[in-house]
Structure 1
Amino acid sequence: MRRIGLVAASAIGAVSLALSPAGPAAAAEGTLTVGLATHTNPSGCYTTNVWPMIVTNNTNQVATVFELPNCQGLAIGQVRPNESNVFEFGTSVSIS
């Protein structure tokens, strides 16, 4: 009987942890250049109309490049911290 109570308590604890809300997202630290615009401590989605799209990521987070505006459509690439890349078909970049 004691073993069943311990298993049930463990299961309830795991479910509570899984259902707890995540903490607030912090902005990346540094600068992110998308096209011609540079963003300091960026967070969220940035759209450009400059092609090919050049992304320079001087932050501590990975930036994800999307094919459509507003970070919609397929993710077509990533730019790691302290790297740059050119995307012929990129339109927007997401970073948190």
Structure 2
Amino acid sequence: MRQRLTTVLGGLAMAGTLVLTGPLSAQAATGDLIINNEHHQNPSGCYPTPGQASIQNHTDAPVTLYLDSQCSGPSAGTVSPGGKATLSPVFSVSIS
């Protein structure tokens, strides 16, 4: 009986911890991302490009480059925070 009570109380404590911390959420990068002269303030997510990308990364997060239009598959490279690059072919970029 004592072991069962300990197991139940342990499970309730774990559930309480999950409720208090809440779900993990993605946060946007802080700063400006410029893709082909289009400004994105505090960007987050995937941005398609027309096959060439001129990127200026004025954020606190790296930008990942992709050869497909939906930010999936192998990475074609990255642009570090504070960096800039003009690359081809690049069909999408992501940042989080």
TM (norm. structure 1) is: 0.71
Alignment of 1:30-45 (within 5 A): 30-45=31-46
Distance (Å, rounded) in 2 between the aligned partners of 1:64 and 1:86: 13
RMSD (CA atoms): 1.9
Q: Could you report, residue by residue, the CA deviation over 1:2-61 in whole angstroms, capped at 9, with x for unpaired residues? A: xxxxxxxxxxxxxx8xxx786211100001111232100000000121x53111110000
Alignment of 1:1-96 (within 5 A): 23-49=24-50, 51-96=51-96
| Gaps in structure 2 of 5+ consecutive residues | 1-13
Count, aligned residues = 78
| Gaps in structure 1 of 5+ consecutive residues | 1-15
Distance (Å, rounded) in 2 between the aligned partners of 1:34 and 1:94: 11
TM (norm. structure 2) is: 0.71
